[in-house]
Amino acid sequence: MLRFVEEIILLLLRDEDGRFIQIPTWSMDYAVAGAILMDLAMENRIDTDLHNLILIDDTPIGDPLIDPILADIAGGGNHDTRHWVEHVSRMGVELREKTLHRLVERGILENQDDRFLWVFRSRRYPSVDGSAEREVKLRILNVLFSDEIPDPRDQMIICLADACGIFPRLLSRQEHSRAVDRIAHVSQLDLIGQAMSQAIRDIQVSVAVSCQGHMI
C-alpha cells in the first residue's frame, strides 16, 4: 500500500504531460506536509484533534522519508497541529523530490526529460496482500461522483485536497460545481483529515492577514 504522501503526489500529476497541476507552491508544500502527518497518524505514532498534535509513540516505523519527521516531533516539544504542518512544509521541495524518486523505484512513474516530466508506467499499485489498488485519482473521482461510502484513506485525502485548493485545478469547472457539496460532506467524516484541514486553513488566514497588513 502506498503512503499518503505518495498518493498525494500522484494526485497532483497531470495525466496528459506528467507535470504537476498548476497550484501555488505553498499548496503543494502543505499537501505534502499534511499527508506525511496523516501517515504518522495511521501508524499510531501521533494523534490529533482540531487543535492539538500528540506524540503517542516515537518508535521509528522504518521509513526513511517519514522517520525524520517523527524524530522532529519527538524532540521538538509540545506544539499544535498547525506548527507541525508549517514545520514539515518547509521541507516540501525535498520531500516532493524524494517521493517522486521512490515512485520511480516502485515502477509506478518513469522519469523523463531530466525530472521535469513524470510518466505513469503503472496505473495500479501493489498493496500489502499482493493485490492491486485502484489509482488514487480514479478512487477519488468515484467517491465524488457517486453515493459510495468512502474508504477512510480516501476521506483523508479528500479533506487534504480540499484544504489545499487542489480540486478546482484537478476538476473541470462543471465537475467542481457538481462535486462541491459532496466534497464538503466527505470532509466532515474524518477527524484526522479535519485536523489537518483546519491547521492549513488557519495558516492561510494568517498569511492573508499578514499580506493585507503589509499593503496598508
Distance in angstroms (rounded) separating the CA atoms of residues 182 and 147:
9
Q: What is the mean pLDDT of the chain?
A: 84
Grid coordinates belonging to 16: 496528459
CA 73 to each of CA 37, 51, 54, 165, 204: distance values in angstroms, whole numbers, following the listed order? 10, 16, 9, 26, 22
Residue with cell 462535486: 179
* Whether residue 96 has pLDDT greater than 50: yes
What mean pLDDT comes out for the span 2-11? 92
Quote the pLDDT of residue 216.
47
* Whether residue 86 has pLDDT greater than 90: yes
- 38 touches 44 (CB < 8 A): no
| Range with lowest mean pLDDT among 27-31, 91-95, 122-126 | 122-126
Q: What is the pTM of this model?
A: 0.84
* Whether residue 204 has pLDDT greater than 80: no
* Whether residue 156 has pLDDT greater than 80: yes
